Amino acid sequence: MVEKIVIGKDWKDLKKFGEKGTAYIGKHVVGKGEESHLTNPIQMDLTRPHIVLVCGKRGTGKSYSAGVVAEEIYKLPDEIRMNLSVLMIDTMGIYWSMKLPNEKDIEMLKEWGLKPEGLANAKVLVPKGHVNEYKEAGITVDHPFTLSVGELTAEDWITTFGFSMIDEHGIMIERVMENLKEKYGSKYSISDIIMEMEKDKRTEQKVKDALVNRFLAAKGWGLFEKEGTKVEDLLKPGVISILDVSHYMRVSESWSIRAMLVALLSRKIFAQRLKARKAEEYGQVTGQARKTIPMVWMMVDEMHQFIPNEGSTAATGPVLTLIKEGREPGISLLMITQRPDKLHEDALSQADLVISHRLTSKADIEALRSIMQTYMLEDIQDYLNDLPRTKGSAIILDDNSERIYQAQIRPRFSWHAGGSPIIIKEKSLIGEEKTTGEKSTGKA
């Protein structure tokens, strides 16, 4: 029997649990370039929290690899899977298709001992104001998603709108938020914010007009209500929640909106898991189990847009808290980026597992070199150059074992809607001819 390579698991857990609670993500590549061949299966640990970095230039398979990890959580035995929940922040609109089986790669799946299968426990959530657009495109939406206005801080709005905490716009926003919290607590709407601003006598009219226009635009984002979606509804045991925010690609403040959303979710998840961890520890001591939200795997695409290495967004502080402190309460973070050099240095230094597909930018390679140099026998460029020229090939850094592996990530058994469009028609899942572009975007 071929020995399996287990990454991310310390020797004590390996001795106690073996490969139980691990994800089959691919196979070890031996040899260079065209002479390479696949050998040992590679299993990634899921039993403990991890900070995982998945990177690679466009089209090399980084979003695909994240989907493989989500599939493996879906495949875990019930007694393990029900202790986990997955939240995927889908900025590109490519993960809704995980509900469907990957029939197009059926022959390749057979070679890997797999078969096409849709994820029955995947739930797609879309901002409430845009649910009908998805339905018109034929995409099933399980639940609408909203953010509670009262749970956003003044700093969230100031950063999202591109102001400063100390300029006249920022000062007015902070004053208005304080007044609203005194009046309504956390239960108020954007209309309430606008009304409070219009009543303000201490600010110049041009400043008030500029802010009212910003909040009127925010009202049209279809995202904010007095009562937002509860974090418990996103973190159901054993469920993969896919939060599709790709609609905001068409909005001028697109990354600011998404950063605000990621900021609020990160804060709420961290707070909820801190409470849950205390309850779990109390249960271990007393034997009295209490219902809590499960441990969390949060997966975020284009992470460099949320925690850049220069400047900051509304999400920077909350996400860095997850990176530095989230493992203790049971939060795993999987970060996807095509620009590791643009990612905050703390995210690079804290990643204990790195899956790097092909990179060609000197700056990106240098960013990886900075975190891998302790373990490298050769230069990172050599490791990348030796990979076979196949989509999904990658090098894996396991900080736990201080080893680097060359690997081929396994094919997905659920449908992956990513990829570039093509003008040549092919058979769709239901036997009709469509262009691959129509199938890959999922948008009308």
Q: Which of 195, 225, 255 is the last residue of a domain?
A: 225
Pair (117, 155) in one structural domain? no
Q: Is residue 416 part of a domain?
A: no
Is 80 exceeded by the pLDDT of residue 348?
A: yes
Return the pLDDT at 444: 29
Q: Is residue 402 very low, low, confident or very high in pLDDT (cuts 50, 70, 90)? A: confident
Give the CATH number, domain containing residue 237: 3.40.50.300
Average pLDDT over residues 366-387: 79
Which residues, at least 6 apart from 164, have a Cβ–Cβ distance to it below 8 Å? 158, 170
pLDDT digits (tens, 9 = 90+) for 27-57: 999 988 677 899 999 999 999 999 999 999 9
Pair (290, 432) in one structural domain? yes
Q: Is residue 264 part of a domain?
A: yes
Give the integer Cα–Cα distance in Å for 395 and 68: 16
Pair (85, 129) in one structural domain? yes
Pair (359, 325) in one structural domain? yes
Which residues, at least 6 apart from 18, have a Cβ–Cβ distance to it below 8 Å? none
Q: Are 332 and 49 in contact (CB under 8 A)?
A: yes
Q: Are 50 and 28 in contact (CB under 8 A)?
A: no
Give the integer Cα–Cα distance in Å for 125 and 145: 6
Return the pLDDT at 383: 86
Chain mean pLDDT for the chain: 89
Return the pLDDT at 443: 36
Structure tokens at 28: 């070890």
Residue 123 to residues 21, 80, 130, 443, Cα–Cα distance (Å): 23, 19, 16, 18
Pair (14, 68) in one structural domain? yes
Q: Which of 180, 196, 225 is the last residue of a domain?
A: 225
pLDDT digits (tens, 9 = 90+) for 273-298: 999 998 888 777 777 666 788 999 99
Q: Domain span at residue 185?
A: 149-225
Torsion over CA: 292, 293, 296, 302 (sign): negative
Q: Which of 205, 225, 245 is the last residue of a domain?
A: 225
Q: Which residues pair with 225 in a beta bridge?
A: 148
Domains in the chain: how many in total? 2
Longest dimension (CA), the chain: 78
Q: Is residue 158 part of a domain?
A: yes
Q: Is residue 141 part of a domain?
A: yes
Pair (321, 383) in one structural domain? yes
Q: Is residue 345 part of a domain?
A: yes
Among the listed residues 145, 163, 166, 264, the one whose alpha carbon sits nearest the alpha carbon of residue 215:
163
